[in-house]
Amino acid sequence: MKVSENAIFVVWITVLMLATALASPATAQFKMLTIIAPAAPGGGWDQTAREMQQVLEQHHLVSAAKVVNIPGAGGTIGLAQFVNANKGDGNVLMAMGLIMVGAVLTNQSPVTLRQVTPISRLTGEYEVLVVPAASPFQNLADFIKAWKQDPGRYAIAGGSAGGTDHMLAGLLAKTVGIDVSKVNYVPHSGGGESIASLVGNHLPAGINGLAELVPFIKTGRLRAIAISSDKRVPGINIPTFVEQGVNLTLANWRGVVAPPGISAPQRAALTALVDGMTKSAGWKAALAKNDWIDMYQTGAEFEEFLKQEDIRATAVLKSIGLVK
């Protein structure tokens, strides 16, 4: 049987297209992935979203990705827009974490994390108590001594009300014997804003995630006086609360979720995409660069983790008087 040149050409084109699709299924699946960062630029969710964008594009896991910032109310404004505007959309992810779990409770948000589709937990990091470079406080003992005498005077800058920064401030006060109701916590819409108030010496102390603070600590613009890890973090010369006589540890975590109403195949595709990202060299480099703890978890385990975190955050926030 004689086969025409046109038929052979068609076969080769078909084979080529199939091979390309098989070689890069994620890219074929996601022409444009949108990653919502429900906070202002410069904070932990923004950092997470932008690292994801860079790694996904660098490794050709998507054709393109963009980050959209929606700040306010501990991420609950972004959460509400994410849930209400993206139902059934399998091309959108939102960064979230423990801060949002707490903010949903303290803001009495009508939209909750029960309405999203869990994809994965990604990272964890410890919290750091810092003071401006010009501060008279050289260590934790100095700060606590002054703080006990006048809690209202020594305001603490941090992220949104009810978030991890706020939790740590309340837990620290409770641990050292300060009336939590007298703590003067000044919330900001993102880590970038709270750090700016500290660098500008507008507030006497602040709490933020380690990765956000490291550049300012290394350049001497802020002084770190305690970190919330149980042991010192290798390569980071910051004393723990524990070694300074305050029995306090706390780890923040971040992850990503998809909108409600997506199909099982859409959820599987997003899960596979994130899984591929976490296994890439680019993501491992991002973890090292930002001093993030690899806390990757997905599937039913992550769903159960979210339920348990809601219980834990409620207990913590009740203990420091932020939730009744």
Q: Residue 207 is part of a domain; what is its CATH number?
A: 3.40.190.10
- Give the end of a domain, one of 222, 251, 280: 251
What's the length of the chain?
324
Measure the CA–CA gap between 248 and 255, rounded to whole angstroms: 24
Cβ pair 165, 39 in contact under 8 A: no
Question: For position 43, what pLDDT does the model report?
Answer: 85
159 φ, ψ (degrees, to nearest 5): -75, -160
Q: What CATH number does the domain containing 32 carry? A: 3.40.190.150
| 214 and 269 together in one domain | no
Which pLDDT tens digit goes with each residue over 66-116?
Answer: 999 999 999 999 999 999 999 999 999 999 999 999 999 999 999 999 999
- Give the end of a domain, one of 196, 218, 251: 251
Does residue 3 sit within a domain?
no
Does residue 45 sit within a domain?
yes
Among the listed residues 46, 37, 29, 24, the one whose alpha carbon sits nearest the alpha carbon of residue 90: 29
- Give the end of a domain, one of 225, 251, 277: 251
Mention every residue, 6+ apart, whose C-beta is less than 8 A from residue 181: 321
The tokens for 178 are 């300060």
Range(s) of the domain holding residue 107: 8-123+253-319
Measure the CA–CA gap between 277 and 273, rounded to whole angstroms: 6
Number of Cβ within 10 Å of residue 106's Cβ equals 21
| % of the chain surpassing 90 pLDDT | 80
| 131 and 235 together in one domain | yes
| 136 and 176 together in one domain | yes
pLDDT band at residue 189 using 50, 70 and 90 as cut-offs: confident
Whole-number mean pLDDT of the chain?
A: 91
pTM: 0.81
Radius of gyration in angstroms for the set of CA atoms belonging to the chain, rounded to a whole number? 22
Question: For position 15, what pLDDT does the model report?
Answer: 42
The identity of residue 318, as a single letter, is K
